[in-house]
Amino acid sequence: MIEEIRLKIRRDEFELSRHAVNQSIIRRISLAEMREAVEGGEIIEDYPDDKYGPSCLILGMTAQGRPLHLLCSYPSRPLIKVITLYEPSPSLWSEFKVRR
């Protein structure tokens, strides 16, 4: 599934939720950083039964080594929806992969 997500991001077949746009501004996360994180990222949590539709949490690193989490819809949608994105807190995440 991560390869399908990467492909859609590369093709600009995605949209950001209003929340994701707000968070990217507040947290100073650029679209370039988001793309970098997805390109080398991995799915660390899967939510197939989410009430708003199947989604997954991706962990990836930017070119500068900044860890990012992206919550996005499954690639079965015509456009991937990035629901939120943020830099995970080390106090809440072990190696940015496992919730503490």
- What average pLDDT score do residues 9-19 get? 97
Q: E strands within 1-100? A: 14-16, 42-47, 55-61, 67-73, 80-86, 93-94, 98-99
According to the model, what pLDDT value does residue 87 have?
96
Whether the per-residue pLDDT at 5 is higher than 90: the answer is yes
- Residue 72 predicted with pLDDT over 90: yes
Mean pLDDT of all residues in 50-75 = 95
Higher local confidence (pLDDT), 51 or 71: 71
Q: Rounded distance, CA 74 to CA 56, Å? A: 7
